[in-house]
Amino acid sequence: MAYATLVSNKPADPLEPITYRDMATPLGELRLVASPKGLRGAWFTDQEGLPSTEGWTLSQTDPILEQARRELDDWFAGKRRHFDVALDPVGTTFQHKVWHALCDLGFGKLASYGDLARTVGRPKGAQAVGGAVGRNPIIIIIPCHRVIGADTSLTGFGGGLPRKQALLAHEGNRYLSRNARARRVCDGQAELPW
């Protein structure tokens, strides 16, 4: 995973050219958004908090968007376990620390909010880490779906718990219920859920 910038804690430049495209996935339509430096966002189109496309340019040929689309298609097909597309999310210094820590979680690996808090040097900051995870603007590629409760409970997910359960199953982690309190039942790579 390559961050285009180490930290981009300023608001996005309103004059910066932003492109977007939508793509089909087994879990619903995903909107990809790019700046000239890298992937700026990825949201399911029915997700709460989906930004408006006002001022953005629809593009089916932007090289960053095309690379992200190809990599996501390969990931969903089980042909890829990590992403190489350049990333350019906008967030605070702390959010970037958390997002970098998420990127370090390998395929199928899970971490609790407390684990991430210790990783970023804030051992008592699980709640703050939860806030940063919840503001992740690049779903799946910055793998916030890999964050679970300390007791292995499913907890929340911006794309919805059914999608989180499916993403975790794709990576070999089984949950029998879509309830936020559901506990993991086993590990190991498994068949694709779609």
Element at 163 (helix H, strand E): helix 161-170
Residue from 4, 151, 140, 155 nearest 73 by CA: 140
Q: How is residue 37 annotated by DSSP? A: S
CA dist., res. 20 & res. 32, Å (int)? 5
User: Is 144 an active-site residue?
Assistant: yes
CA dist., res. 94 & res. 35, Å (int)? 21
Determine the distance from the C-alpha atom of residue 184 to the mean position of all C-alpha atoms in its chain, rounded to a whole number. 20
Q: Are 8 and 147 in contact (CB under 8 A)?
A: no
Task: From the candidates 101, 144, 154, 168, give the one annotated as an active-site residue.
Answer: 144
DSSP secondary structure string for all residues of 104-127: TSPTT--EEHHHHHHHTT-TT-HH
Residues known to be catalytic: 144
